[in-house]
Chain A
Amino acid sequence: ETGVTQSPTHLIKTRGQQVTLRCSSQSGHNTVSWYQQALGQGPQFIFQYYREEENGRGNFPPRFSGLQFPNYSSELNVNALELDDSALYLCASSSPSNRGTDTQYFGPGTRLTVL
C-alpha cells in the first residue's frame, strides 16, 4: 500500500460528457502527477501539480485540466469525453524534497470507460 488513494475505482461515461477523478496523495507529499494508461500501453504523463500550481504538462489537449488543493489532494477533469479517453488513470505522489524527481508512489487507478 502506497497511501495514495483514488476515486472512483470504475466509471462509465458517454461521449461528450465530463468527468472528475480524485486523488489523495501520500501523507507529507506535495507533488501529484497524473498519467493515462491505455490498454496494452505504458502510462503517459498528463500533468503534474506542485503546491497547487501546474508544474509541467504532457501532450494532452486543454480539455484535460486539473486542480490541487491546500491539503495536496488533486482532481483530474476531462471535458467533452471521446472514445479514446477510455483508459486507466493513475495519480502518483512524491515527497516534497524532490518535486517528483525521484520515486513516485502510485494509486490504484480509476478505470474510465467512454461509450
Chain B
Amino acid sequence: SQQGEEDPQALSIQEGENATMNCSYKTSINNLQWYRQNSGRGLVHLILIRSNEREKHSGRLRVTLDTSKKSSSLLITASRAADTASYFCATSGGSTLGRLYFGRGTQLTVWP
C-alpha cells in the first residue's frame, strides 16, 4: 500500500519540548506532505517536501525525507499547548498522482 504510517500513534510532552513524529511508506512518491487536524475538523496543510529534497524548514517545523528508507520525520521545536492536534503524513505519486494517501496519524498532546 502507498499509505503512510505514522509513529508513534500518540505523543505526550510538556510545553517547550520538541516533538518528533515519523512516517513510513511503501511505494515511490512524488512528494510527501504533513497535515494537522484539530479535534475532528478540517486538515491544515503544514509543509510539503518533494522526492528530490532531503530537508525543509518552516518556522518551528523541520521535515526530513529519506527516500532510500521510505521515511519522513516531522520535528516541532519549542512546542506549545496550541500544537495539540493530530498530525498526518500524506503521500502522492506514481500512477495515482493527484490523490493523497494518509496514515492513521499521531495524536500530539502538549501540556502547559
Interface size on A, as a range, is 20 to 34
A interface vs B, CB < 8 Å? 2, 4, 6, 31, 33, 35, 40-45, 48, 50, 55-56, 58, 88, 90, 92, 99-109, 111
Known A-B contacts A43-B43, A88-B40; A100 and B103 likewise in contact (beta carbons under 8 Å):
no
**Best-surrounded residue of B4, B41, B88 (most CB of chain A within 10 A):** B41
Question: Which of A6, A109, A111 counts the most chain B CB atoms within 10 A?
Answer: A109
Binary contact track B30-60/A, C-beta < 8 Å → 1, others 0: 1101010000111111001000000000000
Report whether B104 and A101 are in contact in the complex, using a CB–CB cutoff of 8 Å: no
| Total chain B interface residues with beta-carbon distance under 8 A | 25
In the complex, number of A-B residue pairs with CB atoms less than 8 Å apart: 72
Residues in A whose Cβ lies below 8 Å from that of B3 = 42
Which B residues lie within 8 Å of A90 (CB)? 42-43
A48 touches B41 (CB 8 A): no
* A101 in contact with B88 (CB, 8 Å): no
User: Does the CB pair A41–B104 fall under 8 Å?
Assistant: yes
Contact in complex: A2, B42 (CB < 8 Å):
yes
Q: How far is A88 from B97 in the complex, measured between Cα atoms in Å?
A: 23
- Considering the chains assembled together, what is the distance between the CA atoms of A50 and B97 in angstroms? 13
Tell me whether B100 is interfacial, beta carbon within 8 Å.
yes
Which of A33, A42, A88 contacts B99 (CB under 8 A)?
A33
